[in-house]
Amino acid sequence: MNKPRKQHLIDPEVCIRCYTCEMTCPENAIEHDDNNVVVNADLCNFCMDCIPVCPTGSIDEWRVVRDPYSLEDQYGWEELPEQGVIADDAGDTNVEALEDAMATLLADAHKGAGGKTKAPATAAKPTVNLYNLGKPVEATVRGNFKLTDAGADIDVRHIILDFQGHPMPVLEGQSIGIIPPGTDVDGNARLPRLYSISSPRDGERSGYNNVSLTVKREERGICSNYVCDLDKGDTVKVTGPFGATFLLPEDHEARIMMICTGTGSAPMRAFTMRRQRAVGEKNGGMVMFFGARTPETLPYHGPLKRVPETLLKQHLVFSRVEGAAKEYVQDRMLIERKEVARLLQDPKGYVYICGLRGMETGVDQAFQTIADDFGGDWVSMRDTMREDGRYHVETY
Ligand code: NAP
Domain spanning 255-395, CATH class: alpha beta
- 386 CB-contact burial (10 Å; exposed 0-12 / middle 13-18 / buried 19+): buried
Q: What residues are in contact with ligand 1 under a 6 Å CB criterion?
A: 154, 195-196, 214-216, 261-264, 266, 291-293, 319-320, 328-330, 354-356, 358-359, 362, 394, 396
Segment 160-170, tens digit of pLDDT:
999 999 999 99
Q: Tell me which H or E stretch contains 264.
A: none
Position 334: which residue type?
L
Which of the two residues, 275 and 57, has the higher pLDDT score? 275
Q: How far is the CA of 112 from the centre of ligand 1 (A)?
A: 17
Which range of 2-11, 108-117, 264-273, 280-289 scores highest in mean pLDDT? It is 264-273
Residue ranges of the domains in the chain? 5-106, 137-242, 255-395
Segment 327-379, tens digit of pLDDT:
999 999 999 999 999 999 999 999 999 999 999 999 999 999 999 999 999 99
CATH topology of domain 5-106: Alpha-Beta Plaits (3.30.70)
Q: How far is the CA of 157 from the centre of ligand 1 (A)?
A: 15
Cα 331 versus chain centre, distance:
23
Segment 167-223, tens digit of pLDDT:
999 999 999 999 999 998 889 889 899 999 999 999 999 989 999 999 999 999 999
Q: How far is the CA of 214 from the centre of ligand 1 (A)?
A: 13
- How many C-alpha atoms does 89 have within 13 Å on its Cβ side? 7
Which of the two residues, 276 and 94, has the higher pLDDT score? 276
Segment 22-73, tens digit of pLDDT:
999 999 999 999 989 999 999 999 988 898 788 778 898 988 888 999 999 9
The CATH architecture annotation of domain 137-242 reads Beta Barrel (2.40)
Look at ligand 1, atom 3, and give the residue with the nearest C-alpha: 262
178 — phi, psi (to 5°)?
Answer: -115, 130
Q: Tell me which H or E stretch contains 31.
A: strand 30-32
Q: How far is the CA of 183 from the centre of ligand 1 (A)?
A: 28
Tell me what the mean pLDDT of segment 241-268 comes to: 95
| DSSP secondary structure of 183-239 | B-TTSPBPPPEEEEB-S-TTTTTTTSSEEEEEEEPPTT-HHHHHHHT--TT-EEEEE
Query: pLDDT-based confidence at 109, cuts 50/70/90?
Result: low
